[in-house]
A and B are shown apart, each in its own frame.
Chain A
């Protein structure tokens, strides 16, 4: 079973460049999430979606945009990358009312 798949796994960007991170899940989950993981800060929620065509802001949404055009995919976009966005990004999905979340393997992004 693939579960949650993130693309790419690694990326280096220059300041000001844009990119899109792709998350795909094959479990027919309603909820999808994007987190960033930084040393000493745990996981912080960037944006989330409670169903196809819906998105909402999490704790740290500034500088990011998302789209959920298909139920199985959740895209995270950086329009103009900044060094402060250097982080490891995790996508996750879950299906209510079971709140267990399934995570992808992460994308390590470095902005120079």
Chain B
């Protein structure tokens, strides 16, 4: 079945450091890919998405590129802020049938001043 694998956390960075959170996926079809973010005490919210190979999703300084050849969707940000501290979830959705979202286990990011 479909699955998403994320790097283990927590990821601890100083403010203004470069961020990469790795995400790889396994899918039988040609999925859409997502990054969701969960701030403390809140639900998940969509950060960015990409629906086809080589698409780049971007939002709030975060970027991720849909790499079909490596089945990856790594999240990057050039300069993190304390306010970016949160849990980040990579997810995929099939584009046919029910289109269920399948989530990775999440990666906690801690940014210190």
Interface residues of A (CB under 8 A from B): 4, 33, 40-43, 45, 48, 50, 56, 58, 90, 92, 96-97, 99-106
| Shortest Cβ distance from A88 into B: residue | B43
- Nearest CB of B to A29, in Å: 13
The stretch among B11-19, B66-74, B75-83, B92-100 that forms the contact with chain A is B92-100
Contacts of B25 in A (CB 8 A): none
Contact B105 A41 (CB under 8 A): yes
Q: A40-B105, A42-B89, A99-B32 are in contact. Are A90 and B43 (CB under 8 A)?
A: yes
Residues on B close to A: CB < 8 A?
32, 34, 41-46, 49, 89, 93, 95, 98-101, 103-106
> What are 30 of the A-B contact pairs (CB < 8 Å)?
A4-B43, A40-B105, A41-B105, A42-B89, A42-B104, A42-B105, A43-B44, A45-B100, A45-B101, A48-B98, A48-B100, A56-B98, A90-B43, A90-B44, A92-B44, A92-B101, A99-B34, A99-B93, A99-B99, A99-B101, A101-B44, A101-B46, A101-B101, A102-B45, A103-B44, A103-B45, A105-B41, A105-B42, A105-B43, A106-B42
> Do B99 and A96 touch (CB < 8 A)?
yes
A106, B105: Cα distance in complex, Å: 17
A40 to B105, CA, bound (A): 6
How far does the Cβ of A59 sit from chain B's closest Cβ, in whole Å?
9
In the complex, the chain A residue whose C-beta lies closest to that of B44 is A103
Closest Cβ–Cβ distance, residue B107 to chain A (whole Å) = 10
Q: How far is the CA of A92 from the CA of B34 in the complex (A)?
A: 15
Are A100 and B46 CB-contacts (below 8 A) given A43-B89, A45-B100, A50-B98? Answer: yes
Check if B106 sits within 8 Å of A100, measured CB to CB.
Answer: no
Provide the bound-state CA to CA distance between A90 and B105, in Å.
Answer: 15
B43's nearest neighbour on chain A, judged by CB, is: A103
Output the residue of B43, B103, B106 with the most chain A CB within 10 A.
B43
Question: Which residues of the partner chain B approach A40 to less than 8 Å between Cβ atoms?
Answer: 105
Q: A42-B89, A43-B44 are in contact. List 16 more A-B contacts (CB 8 A).
A: A40-B105, A42-B104, A42-B106, A45-B100, A56-B98, A92-B43, A96-B99, A97-B99, A99-B95, A99-B101, A100-B34, A100-B46, A101-B46, A103-B43, A104-B43, A105-B42
